[in-house]
Structure 1
């Protein structure tokens, strides 16, 4: 199994997981690591809209055809739209039916062979069971730093373990709209409750959120989160066997 695949999941929708995956892909590409970003959130999708590239020409998940369960990674790379030097395979549910699980598996496997790192936004993780590369690869779990968010995260982590996933990398997200920080659980408390290290926190950013809602995409990595995002990106690169200082090509 490829060792350069990172699967992103979260038990709660709307935490900012997709945005984090995109910012990490951007950060990795800025390290000269060839990177692909895959939208395997079959319950939601819309990664191209989040990035503001929905009108760019290129292949989407609905247009994949892998009748024999395999695809050519280099050829697939050339057919994808590019955002900030990152190849993007998006899923637009309003354009057609969700891909079959073996097509998701085939796309991820092919891109893993043609890129240094592949980041897969799997939403709540419904597509994991029938995509072996998503289970066997690295896992990043988005955790909402609230009492309810942590309870959901504990159940989500238990499900990942039952499905055979390895130890995850957890990232805490501050709850958006919390008045003056009220109701936000500290990272140390979250780590103690979940029994794993929780990196972060990823702080809500009104300007970033506004840009996405207006269809402008992610125009920059917010300063308040830049150091955290870059640190996680370096950690992912090293776990994927990449030296961030190596020349990997954009």
Structure 2
């Protein structure tokens, strides 16, 4: 059984694909037979449900939890969330932008993690919600672009994250040449680069047509998501062909599922 884990994905700057990667990690978890829930902590990000193609699905959003009091019932909440590709998604909406108090957010995320689900959080460092949830994180993935200002932002956020989570990794976003920056980034930040997201036309088309990132099981986003997932639930990645070994099962492949 997978130990409870909270994976926080955030961009060092805007427009680098952090939400798409967060969605892909959650989708790939479902493919691996791991119970998961995706949580949107970007109040003005347009809604993580849009990234999943589930914005038209009925269900609970954060605005419905503003007045939450008492302990959060994780199973009852998950059963009422909209779903896409088997992933329950707790998202901000676009009409009612009421944001819950920080304490409510922490309570909900802690309850979800305590129910032995993998919780994948799409967060933004500039909000008051991120620091509180980082206390619960078992892995933080920072997505950074290759432009000088984007790399400077990565350096700043790396210092900000120091001491907030024991396991922080970087995902670089850019064309193929960005791989040349990998040693420099690791040396300058002291953080491991877990993968590289190159420009993916298929992903852009999928997002336009409401197909969740990672659902096709191929491409750089799915590959990096698999590596993030393996690190979150295993702490390392063993490889068997083009599939990872999860316990005594080969998972993370297109047809992986529960044993």
* TM-score when normalising by structure 2: 0.81
The answer for unaligned runs of 5 or more in structure 2 is 237-244, 250-256
1:234 aligned partner = 230
Change (3 A) 1:184 1:147: farther
Cα displacement (A) at 1:98? 2.1
Change (3 A) 1:67 1:115: same
Task: Say if 1:187 and 1:199, in contact at 8 Å, map to a contact too.
Answer: no
2:83 aligned partner = 82
Where 1:119 maps in the other structure, the secondary structure is strand
Q: Which has the higher strand share?
A: 2
- CA RMSD across the alignment: 2.8
1:154 aligned partner = 155
1:200-250 CA-to-partner distances (Å, cap 9, x unmatched) read 11111112113313545445244344333322221111149xx83479969
1:109 aligned partner = 110
2:239 aligned partner = none
Q: 2:125 & 2:177 partners in 1: Cα distance?
A: 26
Where 1:232 maps in the other structure, the secondary structure is helix
Q: Tell me which moved more, 14-23 or 68-77.
A: 68-77
Change (3 A) 1:171 1:182: closer
Q: 1:14 & 1:83 partners in 2: Cα distance?
A: 23
Cα displacement (A) at 1:147? 2.3
1:167-226 CA-to-partner distances (Å, cap 9, x unmatched) read 412211116xxxxx5677522222122122112111111121133135454452443443
1:76-101 CA-to-partner distances (Å, cap 9, x unmatched) read 11111122221110111432322221
Equivalent positions of 1:1-250 (< 5 A) are 4-65=5-66, 67-68=68-69, 70-126=71-127, 127-129=129-131, 131=132, 133-138=133-138, 139-161=140-162, 164-174=164-174, 186-218=181-213, 219-239=215-235, 244-245=246-247
Q: 1:6 & 1:73 partners in 2: Cα distance?
A: 17
**Structure 1 runs of 4+ off > 4 angstroms?**
181-185, 214-217, 246-250
Q: Tell me which moved more, 211-220 or 227-236.
A: 211-220
Cα displacement (A) at 1:40? 0.7
Cα displacement (A) at 1:166? 2.7
Change (3 A) 1:166 1:96: same
Task: Say if 2:206 and 2:212, in contact at 8 Å, map to a contact too.
Answer: yes
Where 1:24 maps in the other structure, the secondary structure is helix
Task: Say if 1:36 and 1:115, in contact at 8 Å, map to a contact too.
Answer: no
Aligned length: 239
Cα displacement (A) at 1:116? 2.7
Q: 2:247 & 2:204 partners in 1: Cα distance?
A: 31
Q: 1:212 & 1:119 partners in 2: Cα distance?
A: 19
1:80-132 CA-to-partner distances (Å, cap 9, x unmatched) read 11222211101114323222212211221121122431011112352123x2x
Q: 2:21 & 2:90 partners in 1: Cα distance?
A: 16
